[in-house]
Structures are given as structure tokens and as C-alpha cells.
């Protein structure tokens, strides 16, 4: 069996869960909640960075972060399941993954700023810098949205997880500013029924 240390709200953990559905690893995967803020959580033993997700293989070896875990899942499934084998398609999927990951990284920093620092200590220029990454990334995706698929590649599934998480935390799509991305996410939920099983929840 495989053990995934993650949380019910992590968009990076969700990427791995969706990839596991596509690669056929779902039945082999046990998901264990991890507390990244607790010094007593075994996560810091499994991953010295104390970050999720972290995959523990049957022999005890640990794999992190989400990109490397998905590489492992794809390789273990024989290749070409979520990471295209052909170079042009592979490059496009990895580039899309990088964009989605970057948007999530910036948005998480915005979330943590509000969670861990008092409002009077917020640095406006730093927040605007992170917000700019999110807005430019979403604008680029709205201009050229990915195609929904029941068997998404790593780029498409990253964007879907990112959008669902942004709506969960910031009601981004509910604003109506990104209709093409909202339509893409709706198509993903309709075309990949198991996708909803991994939705972020408190």
C-alpha cells in the first residue's frame, strides 16, 4: 500500500489524489491527515521541509513534492498516463502545471499573510506583488483555457485543482470575471465524476 500524507484542503495534495485516480492508484492509496504546523507530526520526519503532500512507498521511502509524486505515479503506471510521453505535449503539460503551481504558491502566501500576521503588519507592496502573479496567471488562462478531459494530463488537472481551491478560499470564479475558466471547471466536474470526491473541504 501507498500512504499519502496530506490534508483535505491542500490543492497540491489534491493534484496527487486526482492523478492517482487517472493512473489507477486510488485503491492502493491510504490518505493520512498531516498537521504542517505541529512539530510533533511525523510529517517532519517523512519530509524535512514539513510540507505536504508526501508519499510513503511500501518500502518506507518517501517522495515529495506533488510534482515528483505525480512523476512517480505516472512511472509506476507504465508512463504516459498523466505526463504525456511525446515531447511537445509533455512540454505543454509541464508548462501548464508550472503556471498552476505558481498561482497556487502566490495565493497561499496571500492566505497565510492574513492568517498569521496582524492586519497592521501587512506589507501592501508584497501582497500586491503576490496578487499580481495570481491575476496575470488567471488572465493568461482565461485567454487560452485548457480543454476539459475525463483523463486529464498533469497540466489540466493542476489547473482544475487550482481553480477549485481559489473558489474555495477566495470565491474567485464566483466573481464572474473568468467565465471561460468557470466553464472549464464545470466541464471537468461533469466529465470526470470522481473529481468531485477530492474537492477541498474544511
Residue range 113-162, pLDDT digits in tens: 777 677 777 788 989 999 999 999 999 999 999 999 999 999 999 999 99
CATH code reported for the domain at 87-198: 1.20.1050.10
pLDDT the model gives residue 158: 98
User: What pLDDT sits at residue 113?
Assistant: 79
Average pLDDT over residues 78-92: 98
Q: Where are the domains of the chain?
A: 2-76, 87-198
> Residue 201's pLDDT is what?
82
The mean pLDDT value of the chain amounts to: 94
Between CA 164 and CA 173 the distance in angstroms is 8
d(CA 54, CA 110): 23
Cell numbers given for 108: 497561499
Long-range contacts of 134-141 (CB under 8 A, 24+ apart): 134/103, 134/106, 134/107, 134/110, 134/166, 137/99, 137/100, 137/102, 137/103, 137/106, 138/103, 138/166, 138/172, 138/178, 138/181, 140/99, 141/99, 141/178, 141/181
Q: What is the pLDDT of residue 176?
A: 95
| pTM, 2 dp | 0.95
Please give the average per-residue pLDDT across 22-27, as a whole number.
95
pLDDT level of residue 194 (50, 70, 90 thresholds): confident
Confidence of residue 193 (pLDDT cuts 50, 70, 90): confident
Q: What pLDDT digit, counting tens, does each position of 118-132 carry?
A: 777 778 898 999 999
Domain spanning 2-76 has what CATH number?
A: 3.40.30.10
Peptide bond into 172 cis (omega under 30): no
Amino acid at each position: 500500500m501507498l500512504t499519502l500524507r496530506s490534508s483535505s484542503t491542500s490543492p497540491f495534495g489534491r493534484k496527487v489524489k486526482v492523478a492517482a485516480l487517472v493512473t489507477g492508484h486510488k485503491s492502493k492509496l491510504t490518505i493520512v491527515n498531516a498537521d504542517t504546523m505541529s512539530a510533533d507530526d511525523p510529517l517532519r520526519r517523512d519530509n524535512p521541509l514539513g510540507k505536504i503532500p508526501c508519499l510513503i512507498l511500501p518500502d518506507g521511502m518517501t517522495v515529495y513534492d506533488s510534482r515528483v509524486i505525480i512523476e512517480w505515479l505516472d512511472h509506476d503506471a507504465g508512463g504516459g498516463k498523466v505526463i504525456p510521453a511525446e515531447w511537445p505535449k509533455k512540454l505543454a503539460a509541464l508548462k501548464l502545471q508550472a503556471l498552476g503551481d505558481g498561482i497556487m504558491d502566490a495565493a497561499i502566501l496571500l492566505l497565510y499573510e492574513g492568517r498569521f500576521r496582524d492586519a497592521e503588519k501587512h506589507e501592501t507592496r508584497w501582497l500586491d506583488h503576490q496578487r499580481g502573479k495570481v491575476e496575470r496567471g488567471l488572465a493568461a488562462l482565461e485567454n487560452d483555457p485548457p480543454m476539459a478531459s475525463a483523463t486529464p494530463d498533469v497540466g489540466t488537472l493542476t489547473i482544475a485543482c487550482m481553480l477549485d481551491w481559489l473558489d474555495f478560499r477566495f470565491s474567485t470564479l464566483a466573481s464572474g470575471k473568468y467565465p471561460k475558466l468557470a466553464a472549464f471547471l464545470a466541464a471537468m466536474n461533469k466529465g470526470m465524476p470522481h473529481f468531485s470526491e477530492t474537492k477541498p473541504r474544511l
